[in-house]
Structure 1
């Protein structure tokens, strides 16, 4: 009985110790037992609210924000953790009064505070309540603000955007035509053509060192805030120094004015051996170091010992000493309107004398071979590769040249229009020219058959770096189709002409027009008339078209015209005879 009582006593003692430890732990954190129960309820409600917040729609992120320059406003949502009270993340929403309700503490005003200041205020308050606390705060979802943008933009009006967007991001959205814009199709097409023309000019200037012109607005976007303060955005400077001070984050009620391009204004520039040669509007306080930053770095051929600053009113050039990162080593210079920095270039040979060509297909040693650009001949390379195999078929062999001129165009007719601009061809020629332009390939004009069988030196062409020589085998057939009795593949016979293949295909069917029959060359898809002395090669096609389709009444009109001409001729002859008598 005594042992049983002792066991019960020990159990009660252990439970008491555990219970007391729980109370002590909660008190250590500044919480009572009732607080713990309340906190558990808060955690459950907080988790439910968190699920709702996390499911809220978000807009695309325009840029990673700098917390030192982001001002907190109504609608911002913070992710908040106080590990001294709970391991769960809570979400704090900034009220229309620009304050937040901090759990177990109360309202905290955040008016005029940056994100950095907000973090410090809240963590300091938690520390004051409990010096041993571990808390953190982060911007979970930025608020959406309404701003107005007008001036030199494609779409004036009011925009609803995240407050994490810079002024430059808001401008980009307004500068482009959108489906929601109140713009006509011709206006949109005109804008796209303008953009394409800019790209073509940039392509012409690429690598020359000639500066790219930056518009006046790029340094002079005017912002009026709802509190009456004003600011000017300098997008170029903000990009160069990665500093949102010059390209602020938008706020609720902002009015953004993008100025139109003045007829003339003061400029500064940097050009030559830099990655981003630029001409930009001048502003008081501009320095040489800023221009060097805007240049984006040196090109491979830049001459670091040949960099000079030229200033309006100063006839002497100022030599600039910079390091490889384009940092000035001998002090900075204040610029004036018209100042320019010229970065010299070394005389670097850009065209290599050596190159390579690839040979594939029916050659004894296919692969890649070195050449001297523009000097090594086709025959030399074929001999170096061991010559052709027995299956090689020269009439279909081709050389493809490396072509770097491919580019995407928003208007597929641009290249065609450029080449047809000064043409003396008729309007009917445009259809065929359009087809030829769209289907042209970078092939080299060369007849392998004439070179290697008849030693035609005009076909022993010079090779260039990147050329691809393709030697196919004989397909062994000719495809005959159109208005023939037995269309299909006909076995190839060397030296046979078109009529022979038509006969093998059962002859021309009813409705076919023999005078319009053509050979389509397998090598390059050119069309040839099938005279008796014109050979057909393996891989060629023979097409027999129908008679020409003519509108109803055309033949009648033709014969009526002939009769009229004959009648008029007879009348003239008759008049002449009467006159002679």
Structure 2
């Protein structure tokens, strides 16, 4: 076999190398110092047709096949992307797919017959503006490809503002150059509907409005995962609100709808499962989702609870503490120690207290009036709501028709009766009844005994040295005198009653004397 001389072989090798160099570009060595950032957490893959590039995005151009050369670049603050050997491209505000086409075309012109690509290696984080009913409104930094949920979390979550609740079913996303989005974030939380949790763009403004739960919203309670007030959307049905509040449809036996009429009357209606999708919800409605073991009993929670109204209960099983919880708890200015639970006499087993006029012959006018007044009062159940809310003491259960009233604890003591300036006096811990009488100008002419009327129990404690608690009242008694028409009328009635009794005594005495005289005359006649 013929072999080329050694010198000619070297020449041929050099020539072949030159030909090869003329046919394919030199890509240079494979870069091994490529910058790799920390792992990024995003939801799924980025859609190049919708992802909009902006300052901070990191991209990489690849040249070659199995061992490509990688050219990394970051979108600059002025929105430009500089790819070595390809050129400078306007990137900010353009979709990833649009910039990929432009960069690939430039690379293909520079490097023929070599695979090229452009990929997004590190999506940027950016700012969105969050305002309204959130804990920490302002400009907030969110992660790559964020959703509405991320922005709300960065702003501290939903928050009450001045007694108003966040209207999370009407969140507004304001977008530059586009129409505002109004989304139902509550529905997303309940059903996972992503229409209620859209992706955000750089520079979006998120606004969370508020609503008044008593006049603009509806209250949902019972066997739901998220009880509380909800803002309403046009066309909302009872089923919509039960679903959003996390009610388990399979185990719901009905919903008790409590609605205030135009005249202020409260109407209750029990809805069967088949009716939930046909009954529209109105502002101020209260919905209580019933489980299979619920009774149809109701009790009222009034006064300084968050949502006063009528609530379903298990007769004789639901506790006072549970009733308050269903009403949203007590307000900060409430005075739980003075709360009163009223019960109708027939429910309290006190029907026998009704006065019988035929048995009152020994009672004077005042005693009969007092008995009739007290017998007609609703029975008052002894409770200590402050202890019950702390989980202390014996649990008091409520009955159908009960009415719990939680008064205000406005930091005052009411001083009345025979004092110079009756009215409210600021409460000060450790003070006695005498100190409050002095603060009310002192005792007036004719003043006698001082009493402290304890909040909640209504017990009268005598003496100016009696300590006074928050919500207690101080009463200064006086010598009785008729200085009003009502008291004068009562005095006349008492005087008439005394005269009648005196006349009865005289008549009885005359009758007795007459009887004795008759007997004496009869005896004398017999003996003579």
TM bin, normalised by shorter chain, reads 0.3 to 0.5
TM-score (norm 2): 0.38
TM-score (norm 1): 0.35
Of structures 1 and 2, the larger Rg is shown by 2
